[in-house]
Amino acid sequence: MAVLFDLVQDFEGEPPKEWKRPTFKDCAAEEIKTTFFNDTEFAERHNVDGVDALIVLEDVDVREHAAHWEAGAKQNFDTGLYDAYRILYIQVEDYGEMPQSGDLVTIDEGTKDEQLFTLVSCEDENGVYRMILERTRQG
């Protein structure tokens, strides 16, 4: 039998690693990046603590503080009018080191949409930080 051509593969360095079937975790991680953190689906681009990244920001709860009425207006000077809670999802690789409870988290600093929150808790859920944020609204 005659051979019409010789096949020579030049990998320019090391040959590629043998293909390995992806695990469920590999597939889930890829889906998180391509779907959850997709700016045409769920995510929006914001600046979080100086980092420009795609994030998902979810409103969770608003709790009104106790107050009293005086001179026809609601008075609540010492604790604010209400607490707003939000959940922020950001990729670990975008944000960096995990923040600690009590840290301040700033979204869109220096813009008209700037918001300052106190971090209630932060968890690393498979490469995504899930931060529970609290903000006290004053008048």
Extents of the domains making up the chain: 44-137
Cα distance between residue 67 and residue 80, in whole Å: 9
pLDDT score for 102: 96
pLDDT score for 11: 65
On average, the pLDDT of the chain sits at 83
Output the CA–CA distances (angstroms, integers) from residue 104 to 46, 101, 116, in the order listed: 16, 9, 7
pLDDT score for 1: 60
pLDDT confidence tier of residue 125, bands split at 50, 70 and 90: very high
Q: Which residue has the higher pLDDT, 76 or 33?
A: 33
Q: Which is nearest to 95 in space by CA: 52, 33, 66?
A: 52
pLDDT score for 75: 52
For the residues 21-41, what does the mean pLDDT come to?
Answer: 89
Least confident of 1-5, 65-69, 103-107, 121-125: 65-69
Inter-residue contact 135 to 79 (CB < 8 Å)? no
Residues of the chain with pLDDT > 90: what percent?
Answer: 50
Q: Which tokens belong to 123?
A: 């968890």
Least confident of 25-34, 39-48, 80-89, 96-105: 80-89
